[in-house]
Every structure is written in structure tokens, then in C-alpha cells.
Chain A
Amino acid sequence: MNETAQRGLLMSDSACRKGRLMEKLGRSILLLITSLSVFAVLFIFIYIAKDAFPFIKEMGLSRFFGSAQWYPSMDPPSFGAMAIVYGTLMVTVGAIIVAVPLGVAAAICLSDVLPFEVRQVVKPIIEMLAAIPSVAFGFFALVVFAPVLQNHGGALLSTILWVIGLPLGVLLVMVLSEMTASRVQEVRRPSVRLMGHIIFGVALFYLLWRGGACLWNVHIASGTNALNVSFILGMMALPTIVSVAEDSLQAVGRDLREGSYALGATRAETMVRVILPAASSGIASAIILGIMRAFGETMVVWMASGNTARIPSPWYNFLAPVRTLTASIAGDMGEAARGTMRYHVLFVMAFFLLVVSFIMNMLSQWAVDRQRKRWGK
């Protein structure tokens, strides 16, 4: 009786062996399925490179990157992509200029300035902003924003200058007056502060008025241009930057904040001198991800950049139409017969995009890892 019951609880050697074999088999199957993403990345690189190779072998990369003569339909054709690469860089830089200051400031505000309830509401809205399809942004850029730029471009730029410049300028005037007043004796500070308000205020108003007048007279010939695309791409990159930067600011934790407050620092000093340096890697990662978003975008630039393969004159003229790598791929693939150089040059562009994205992705990952090691997230 006892022997029978005791033997029933023990598994036989063959059953144990079978169980371990099944576990190994299951684990192997899981690994194989998981490796699909590895194979996917490899195949993407291989197939893009495979179709890019005929062009590189025949034409070489020196003229591809060194010439701005993009005339694929001519006989003989010319595939100089310098203007197109320049257009991509131009709109990416423009998007960064729009998105990074706004995004980092918003992340700081959400992280430490606004109440928790407001943050609970705002963060989902930012995520929904990130979810808006890019073709909707492109449609807005082409159908709504481009006519406004073309018909009222000067007035719009002037208005934007006043709307943004006036509040920031007022804050700056207050700060400068206060800093000036802090340098004189206690008794004279109110009068010096008042004088500072008047002088700096008049200077601010004069600068805004002159700047506004200059911008008012600007005439934008084409509403589909680098400025349009830069602004829209900036808006698209903004949610990414805000989300990732805010997460990294949150990850720093309360200890540093409370220590800084205990030593008498104001909130601004805490943020600028303590929290931002601590979260710098995470914020760098956010900025890199935002750049990747702007760099890899297709539909907005295809619809609203003007698609002119020429370096603007002068080189910094954002009011001129430009052409980007992604728009060239999307627009030209329908025109290029399979197997021709015109077909293969688009894969060269895609390979370039792929390599740049890979490098930026590695940079972003390195920044995240650095953040993690530093703060033990």
C-alpha cells in the first residue's frame, strides 16, 4: 500500500527526459520565431543593398553625392542627389529648430510645473497627437497651410513673431530689469527697476516692430516650401520629444529634487542645474528620436515641400521649394522602369536613409543605456 502510493508520485526517468526535451524544443521554437525580427532587419538591408548595387557599380557614389544635377529623364540621365540630400537636411534642421526648444520646455513643464491632474490629461492628448496619420499632416500642409503662406505669408510670419516674441520678451524684460536692479544699493532699487522696465520695454517694442515690419513685407511665391514642411515636421516630431524627455525627467526621481529644494534652490535652479544635467542622456535620446521622425517622414514632404531638386539661393532660404530623399523615392518609383538606373538610384537613396536611421538609432540606444547605468532605472 505505502509502496504503491510512493511510487506513483515519482516520475520515471524516461518521463523526465521527455519533459526536458520538450522544453528544449519549445524554447528553440520560440527563439526561431523571435529571430524573425533579426531576419527582417537583415533582409531589409540585403534587399535594399542588392538593388542599390548596380547603380553604385556603374555610376559610383562620387557623382551621386557630389553633383546637384538631378535630371533622370534626360538622355544621358544625370543622377546628382546633392540637392536632394541638402533638401532633406534643410527640412530636418528646420523641424529640429521648431520642435526641440518647444518639446523640451513642454516636457519640463509637464514634469515639474503643472499639477499632476493636468499632466494626467495632457499626456494622453500628446500621445494622440503622435497617432495622427502623417498623410493628414500632409493634407493640412498642402490644402490649408500652403495657401495661407502663399496669400498671407508676410502677415502670418509677422503675427507669429509678435505672438511668440511679446510674451517671451516681457519675461526677458522682467528678468533683465531685476538683474540690473540687483547690482545697485537697496535704496535705489525700485527706481532702477522701473527705469529698467521702461528702457528694456521700449527696446523690446522697437525690435518687435522692426522685425514685424520686415516680415510683413515678405512675399512667399510658393506656399509649398521648406518653411511649410519644417513647421509641420516639427509638429509631428514634437510628441515624440515631449514623451521621451518627460519620461527621462520623471526617471530622475524625487531624491535629487528634494535635496536641491532643501538647500534653498528655486524650482528654476533645481531644474536647470540639477535635473536637466541628470536627465541629459534621456533628453538627448528624445531629440535623436525626434530627428529620426522628421528625417524619415515621407508624405508631408512629398505633398508640401514643392519637390524642386535645386539648392535654394541663398542656401538658407526656407521660403524656396525643396526636394527630399523620401519624396524622391515615393514620387519617382512610379516613373522608373524596373531594372533601369533610375530604378536602382532610388534604392541607393533608400540605403542611405536606412544607414543614417540605423546610426541615429544606435546613438539613441547608447544614450538610453547611459541613462540607465547612471540612475539604475
Chain B
Amino acid sequence: MQRRARYTLDKAFTGLGTASVLIMAIVLLVLLVPITWRGCQAFIFRGTYFFRQMQKVEFDRGNTARLDKQRDQFLAAMAPAWGMINEFEAELKEMPRKDRKKYKANFRETKKAFEAVFGPLPDEKTPILPRSQYGQTRWDRANVKFESLYFREMWDYNTPTGQGVQLLLPRDKDFAGTKLEPLFDYVKLNLSKIMQPEVTFYWQFLVDKSIDSHFFGGIGPEVLGTIYLTIGAILFAVPIGITAAVYLCEFARPGSVLSLIRTCVNTLAGVPSIVFGLFGLAFFLNSLHVSQSKSVLAGALTLALMVLPTIIRATEEAIRAVPHSYKEASLGLGASHGWAVLTVILPAALPGIMTGIVLSMGRAAGETAPIIFTAAVSLGAAPKIMQVFSEPTPALSWNIYNLCTEHEAVNEIRHVQYGMVLALIVLVLALNMAAIVIRARISKKLKG
């Protein structure tokens, strides 16, 4: 092959490699940007008057005088709308039966949509569910719900492809000539005056409990539950992992026993996470009965088994990275082997061990499959510290799945789902970043 052709091949080869790295970078951005952007909207958004009312009633936050002033503005702006509804109801009673029948179903639907945006009518009894006691707490959701109030949805199936096409029909035309007709334009013109949107920074999203299946409030129990499980797993796995690594590096003699142990550690690392979940159910709950039912303890034990190989490997690498001269100097001064390990090698290896521990925490925090059967529930408060031996807990990873697949109103709480995902990713990546920083310091230290 000629020289120029070889150079062209070489450039093509370089381009191919660079393209693959660029593709990976693009995919990473595509993955993280929407989650980050919409996850931040769980914390920073335009909250409405109902959000501030909810915060005051449920969590006793905010300035009372300012809220009273806003309530007066809300009532003043809402009075004409409520008046129109009442007048139409009176008008409806005096209508001929045929006309009444025509308007009744549509009016019921309109009223329902109205209450979804603006909360219950003042004369009606208080609804039981909190989700019906308040209107929309977020400005973006209020606009979406307002579209459902302003337009009636209909599907047209008389199309060439046979696939339904959505039609949006204005409701004011449905009620043309009645006292309800002005309602829609009035509400449209005064929506921002009624709802009074303000930019809100809701950092308490991380610590508040959820109200009425996450319609309001935050993800505090999930965050706390994830912390419990992570710390529990580390408490079980770290002593065993470090001890095992010390033995494998410093005390084990080469032979079949050593290779068997190494094979088992590698096998443990390769077990699918769902199998850990089944094993946790079968062994810790059904055989050992560490608790009567799901519990943080069972989940922590299962996660500990899962992260054990990571700690063993990281600790082994850290111990091997300690120069031999440290140990030889210690032995030369008369220390015994065990004492040399305890007082010289382990302190020198401590940064590497910390790296492994932090990586394991990230892994334990992010795993869902092992805790499905052993520890995770969907709702409820996180247990008190003394209840972790017998009580299950909500967890971030489990409820991310649960809220976007099992919730009765998935699209209503999309911001909570994104907020949970962002919180979990930030937690795990922060741990990972800490591990990287620790490792960088190790490199610098050993190099110097």
C-alpha cells in the first residue's frame, strides 16, 4: 500500500476514535440535561397563591400579613367568577328541561375543571383529600389545567389513516348566550392576577414530607430512608471488607484457599442485583427472620453483601500501593507483623480505603433491585433511628420507579419524579466526585 493511502487510513482511524468519544459525550449530555433542567424545576419554579397557602397551612411557613393581603386579592379577583357560576346555576334551574339537559353534563365537567385550577367553591364543604383543598400550586401546571378548562377535548376518528386526531373546542361557544359565557374570557384575562405567580425557591423539597401521595410537599422521607440504607450497608460491609482485604494482602499464603476466596469475591461482584434482592428475601427475611417483614436492617444487610467486593478490591489496591519500605522499616524497629499492619500500613492506605468506602456508598444509594423485596415501601414517614431494625422505609431509588409507573396521577407529579432523580444523581455523583478527589490526593502524595 502506498504511503499516502496509509496516511489517509491513519487519519480515518484517528477520526473514528475521536468520533466515538464525541458520541459518548453527546449521549451523556442528552441523558443528563433534561433530568437536570426539569429536576431543578422541583426546587425553583413559579409558585402560585395556593402554594404559599399550602405552605402556611401544612408547614406553617411564610409571612402571615403578606399572605392575608394576597388572599384578599385572590378573593377580590375570584368573586366575579364565582358569581358567574352561581348565576348560571340559578339560570339553569329556570331553563326548560331540554335546554337544561343539554348544558348539565358540560357544566359539571366545566365546574370540575374550574375547581382543579382554582380550588373548591367557597360555599361547598371542605373536600377530604388535600389535593382537592387547594388549586394548582405551580404556575406551569395551572396553565396546563386552564387549557382543560377553556377547551373541551374531542377525538375525530374520521381520518384517512384511521388514527384519532385531537380536537379542542372552546367551551364559551358551548355556553353561548348564557350567563356562563363571560366566565372563560374573564378567567383567561385575569389568570395571573388570581394566581399571583412568584419565583419560588423551595429547598425544603428535600426535607418536607409528602402530602397526599406527593401531590404536595417534598421527598424528605425518601432522602432519609436512602441515607439509612446507605449508612447501614456501609456499617456492615466496611469492617468485613477491610479485614478481608488485610488478610488477602498481608497474611494469606498463596494456595488453593486464597484462589478460592478470590474467585468467590469476583463471583459476588458479578451477581445480578435482582438476585441479591431475592436472596435477601429468602435468607434474611424468610430464614433468619431478622425482622417480621421488610425492614431497613434487611435492606442494609442485602446492600452490604452487594458492596462488599467493591470495598475489598479498593482496600486491597490501597494496601498494595503502600511502599514496601514502610513495612520493612517498621519490622526493622522490632514491631510485630500485626502491629505493623495496624499502625503503619493501614494509616498509609487510609485515603485509598476511604475512596472505596465512598464509591460503595454511591453504589448502595443508587441500587433499587436489592431493596424491592427487603426494605422499600412507597409511602409513610421514614422510621425513627431505633425503628430501623423492624420498619421498612421509603427510598429515593424505589420511589423513582414507583411514582412514574404505579402512581394514580403520574403526569400531575412529574416534577416530583424529576426532583427525586436529580437528588439521587447529585447524591451519587457527589460521592463519586469525593472519591475522585481523594484518589487524586493519593496520587499527588505518593508522587511527591
Interface residues on B, range: 35 or more
Asked if B20 contacts A102 (CB within 8 A), the reply is yes
Majority DSSP secondary structure for residues of B touching A: helix
Supply 10 further A-B pairs (C-beta < 8 A) apart from A40-B268, A181-B5. A38-B261, A113-B18, A131-B428, A134-B367, A172-B12, A178-B9, A303-B401, A329-B277, A350-B278, A361-B267
Dominant secondary structure of chain A at its interface with chain B: helix
Task: Indicate which residue in A132, A353, A360 contacts B274 across the interface (CB closer than 8 Å).
Answer: A353
Most A CB contacts (10 A, CB to CB) among B261, B278, B373 go to: B278
B308 in the interface (beta carbon within 8 A): yes
Chain B residues with CB under 8 Å of A292's CB are 270
Q: Give the distance in Å from the alpha carbon of A175 to the alpha carbon of B7 in the complex.
A: 10
Interface membership of B365, Cβ < 8 A:
yes
A274 to chain B, nearest CB (A): 13
Nearest chain A residue, comparing its CB with the CB of B397: A135
Residue in B11, B243, B401 whose beta carbon sits within 8 Å of that of A302 in the complex: B401
Nearest CB to that of A144 among chain B residues?
B34
Contact A44 B271 (CB under 8 A): yes
Residues A37 and B264 in contact, CB atoms below 8 Å apart = yes
B264 and A26 contact, CB distance less than 8 A: no
Residue contact B279 to A178, C-beta cutoff 8 Å:
no
Query: Are A108 and B278 within 8 A (Cβ)?
Result: no
Q: Using an 8 Å CB-CB cutoff, how does the interface string of A135-158 with B read, 1 for contact, 0 for none? A: 111111011100000000000000
- B270 CB contacts on chain A under 8 angstroms: 292, 296, 357-358, 360-361, 364
Cα-based distance from A267 to B12 in the complex (angstroms) = 11
Residue on A nearest B2 in the bound complex, by CB: A182
Any A CB within 8 A of the CB of B309 = yes
Contact (Cβ within 8 A) B308 A142? no
Interface residues on A, range: 35 or more
B23 contact from A140, A142, A164, A298, Cβ within 8 A? A164
The reply on A284 being an interface residue by CB < 8 A is no
A377 to B389, CA, bound (A): 46
A43 touches B283 (CB 8 A): yes
B313-339 CB contacts (< 8 Å) to partner A: 336-338
Any chain A CB within 8 A of the CB of B447?
Answer: no
A–B pairs, 23, beta carbons within 8 Å: A23-B337, A23-B338, A33-B244, A36-B244, A37-B261, A37-B309, A43-B283, A129-B24, A132-B31, A133-B366, A135-B366, A136-B35, A140-B421, A142-B404, A175-B9, A178-B5, A182-B2, A269-B6, A333-B373, A354-B271, A354-B272, A357-B275, A361-B267
The answer for the CA separation of A305 and B297 in the assembled complex, in Å, is 32
Residues of chain B with a CB closer than 8 A to A69's CB: none
Q: Does A21 contact B (CB under 8 A)?
A: no
Least CB distance from A91 to B in Å reads 14
B243: chain A residues within 8 A (beta carbon): 30, 33-34
Residue of A nearest to B14 (CB): A113
Complex partner residue of A106 from B5, B21, B338, B362, CB under 8 angstroms? B21
Task: Given A108-B17, A127-B432, A171-B15, answer yes or no on A132-B366 (Cβ-Cβ < 8 Å).
Answer: yes
Closest residue of chain A to B284, judged by CB? A47
Chain B interface residues (CB < 8 Å from chain A): 1-2, 4-21, 23-24, 27-28, 31, 34-35, 240, 243-244, 246-248, 251-252, 257, 260-261, 263-279, 281-283, 286-287, 305, 308-309, 312, 336-338, 359, 362-363, 365-369, 372-373, 397-398, 400-401, 404-405, 414, 417, 421, 424-425, 428-429, 431-433, 436
Cβ-defined contact, A129 with B28, below 8 A: yes
Of all chain A residues, which has the CB nearest B248? A34
A348 to B10, CA, bound (A): 51
The distance from the CB of B39 to the nearest CB of chain A, in whole angstroms, is 10
Contact: A128 with B429, CB < 8 Å? yes
- Is B9 a contact partner of A37 (Cβ separation < 8 A)? no
Q: Which residues of A sit under 8 angstroms from B269, Cβ to Cβ?
A: 361
Given A37-B268, A135-B400, A238-B24: A179 and B5 interface contact (C-beta under 8 Å): yes
A133 interface neighbour in B12, B16, B28, B365, Cβ under 8 Å = B365
Q: A138-B401, A139-B404, A302-B401 are in contact. Are A132 and B21 (CB under 8 A)?
A: no
Q: Are B9 and A26 in contact (CB under 8 A)?
A: no
| Interface status of A73 (Cβ within 8 A of chain B) | no
CA separation between A113 and B13, bound complex, in Å?
10
Whether A195 is near chain B, meaning CB under 8 Å from some CB there, is no
Interface residues of A in 99-145 (CB under 8 A from B): 101-103, 105-106, 108-110, 113-114, 122, 124-129, 131-140, 142-144
A295 touching B404 by the CB < 8 A rule?
A: no
> Closest approach, in angstroms, between the C-beta of B101 and any C-beta of chain A?
39
**A266 x B432 contact (CB < 8 A):** no
B420: nearest residue on chain A (CB-CB)?
Answer: A139
Contact call A235/B27, Cβ cutoff below 8 A = yes
Give Cα A44–Cα B7 distance, bound, in whole angstroms: 55
* Best-buried of B11, B312, B363 by chain A (most CB within 10 Å): B11
Q: How far is the CA of A23 from the CA of B373 in the complex (A)?
A: 42
Q: How far is the CA of A338 from the CA of B312 in the complex (A)?
A: 35
How far, in whole Å, are A330 and B401 apart by their CA atoms in the complex? 12
Q: Are A326 and B428 in contact (CB under 8 A)?
A: no
Quick one: given A34-B244, A292-B270, are A136 and B5 in contact (CB under 8 Å)? Answer: no
A258 and B21 alpha carbons, distance in the complex (Å): 25
A268–B14 CA distance with the chains assembled, in angstroms: 8
Residue in contact with B369 in the complex, picked from A101, A144, A268, A298, CB distance below 8 Å: A298
Residues of A within 8 Å of B400, CB to CB, are 135-136, 138-139
Task: Flag if A268 contacts B13 (CB, 8 Å).
Answer: yes
- Bound together, the chains give a CA A174 to CA B320 distance in angstroms of 49
Cβ contact of B368, chosen from A35, A124, A299, A353, cutoff 8 A: A299
Q: Which B residues are in CB contact (< 8 Å) with A133?
A: 365-368, 397, 424-425, 428
Cβ of A357: which chain B residues have Cβ within 8 Å of it?
270-272, 275
User: Is A47 a contact partner of B8 (Cβ separation < 8 A)?
Assistant: no
A271 close to B13 (CB less than 8 A): yes
Closest residue of A by beta carbon distance from B433: A128
A317-333 interface code vs B (CB 8 A; 1 in, 0 out): 00000000010011001
Tell me, yes or no, whether A277 is within 8 Å of chain B by CB: no
**Least distance between B338 CB and chain A CB atoms (Å):** 6
- Give the distance in Å from the alpha carbon of A33 to the alpha carbon of B279 in the complex: 20
Taking a contact as CB atoms under 8 Å apart, the answer to whether A298 and B6 are in contact is no
Give complex CA distance A118, B193 in Å: 53
B425 interface neighbour in A102, A127, A136, A179, Cβ under 8 Å:
A136
Q: Please give, as numbers and ranges, the residues of chain A lying within 8 Å of B12 by CB-CB distance.
A: 171-172, 174-175, 268
Q: Cβ of A36 and Cβ of B19 under 8 Å apart?
A: no
Q: Which of B4, B240, B400, B414 has the most CB of A within 10 A?
A: B400
| Nearest B residue to A171, CB-CB | B12
Q: Is the CB of A109 within 8 A of B405?
A: no
Chain B residues with Cβ below 8 Å from A106 are: 17, 20-21, 24
Question: A133-B366, A298-B369, A330-B274 are known contacts. Are A235 and B19 too (CB-CB below 8 A)?
Answer: no
A38 surroundings in chain B (CB, below 8 A): 260-261, 264
In the complex, which residues of chain B have a beta carbon less than 8 angstroms from the beta carbon of A362? Answer: 263
Which of chain B's residues have a CB closer than 8 A to the CB of A139? 35, 400-401, 404, 417, 421
Q: Does B397 lie within 8 Å of A326, measured CB to CB?
A: no
Q: Is the CB of A137 within 8 A of B240?
A: no
